Amino acid sequence: MSEAFKSGFVAIVGRPNVGKSTLLNQMIGEKIAIMSPKAQTTRNKIQGIYTTDEGQIVFIDTPGIHKPQNGLGDFMMKTANSALHEADMIWFVVNADEPRGGGDDYIINRLKDVETPVYLVINKVDLVQPQEVLPMIADYQAQMDFAEIFPISARTGDNVQALIDTTMDQMEAGPQYYPEDQITDHPERFIMAELIREKVLQLTRQEVPHSVAVVIDSIAREANEKLHVQATIVVERPSQKNIIIGKGGSMIKEIGTRARKDIERLLGSKVYLELWVKVEDRWRDKPQALQSYGYKE
């Protein structure tokens, strides 16, 4: 006799770079959340969907929770806040190879205000000795009550299945929200833009900060079955545009090549990627620009 199908939403929170996107990718097995060694790569709420015969877990990958500094920061915090209340469960991800810091405490204080059960997920245990984990658990437990505590490695997959299994166990009976072959509810357009933005951040390092957005202008299927994607990279200053284009167009070519490969893998189709660069001063403080680049509620 089989039990009722279970389903629910899990919000993944944690300060930037603790490995939230890596964990999501490890579970879902597709590159849908964007990884980068830089902070705040994930701006929008990205849902990964995990389905088995037993049930379905819909993951909400939140942007790093932090004090807002401008219009964009404010948007990001509102997104994270609403995710906390919508969720049936929260996974609070922390870094095993760093002591609890101000960024973690800021989140702990916000989590204390939510009714939703919180799992403490201590990630990157592959970087520390086993005996270092216990004192860390004690330290976090002294701050607040956690429903469960899981030391894991999102990179190696260590203990990730146990985390998922326990989460699934504790979900209530519910509908299957999405078809089982669906791994994200975001339009491919958004994922493509994020893949391009990821390459810009990876390749330009410090020179082009977070003042970069990517807009997919058009997607068309060509006669030869190739997908023609036109996209615009939006920056705030002409100097940043020059960096992105690079000497003789070398940088934009590299960005395009890398992004195209990821997009082809995502869509299972040959892609012709055409990239443009546009300067728009201080777009992060303009509500209208924020909206047209997809950062709206």
Residue 63 carries which DSSP code? P
Using Cβ positions, the residue closest to Mg ion within the complex turns out to be: 21
Cβ closest to ligand GDP, residue 43 vs residue 260: 43
Choose the one of K ion, ligand GDP, Mg ion, none that binds residue 103, judging by a C-beta under 5 to 8 angstroms depending on kind.
none
Cα(81)–Cα(62) distance, integer angstroms: 9
Choose the one of ligand GDP, Mg ion, K ion, none that binds residue 184, judging by a C-beta under 5 to 8 angstroms depending on kind.
none
β-pair type (148-151, 89-95):
unpaired
Cα(164)–Cα(176) distance, integer angstroms: 17
β-pair type (89-95, 118-123):
parallel
Choose the one of ligand GDP, Mg ion, K ion, none that binds residue 240, judging by a C-beta under 5 to 8 angstroms depending on kind.
none
Segment interacting with K ion (CB under 5 A) among 40-48, 67-75, 95-103, 243-251: 40-48
Does residue 184 touch Mg ion according to CB under 5 A? Answer: no
Q: Strand, coil or helix: what is 189?
A: helix
Tokens of 87: 């969720």
Q: What is the 3-state secondary structure (H, E, C) of 158-189?
A: CCHHHHHHHHHHHCCECCCCCCCCCCCCCCHH
Restricting to residues 17-36, which ones interact with ligand GDP according to CB under 6 A?
17-22, 35-36
List the x/- string, 25-64, binding to Mg ion by CB under 5 A: -----------------x----------------------
* CB 194 to ligand GDP: min, Å: 12
- CB atoms near residue 56 (< 10 Å): 23
- Applying CB under 5 A, which residues contact K ion? 41
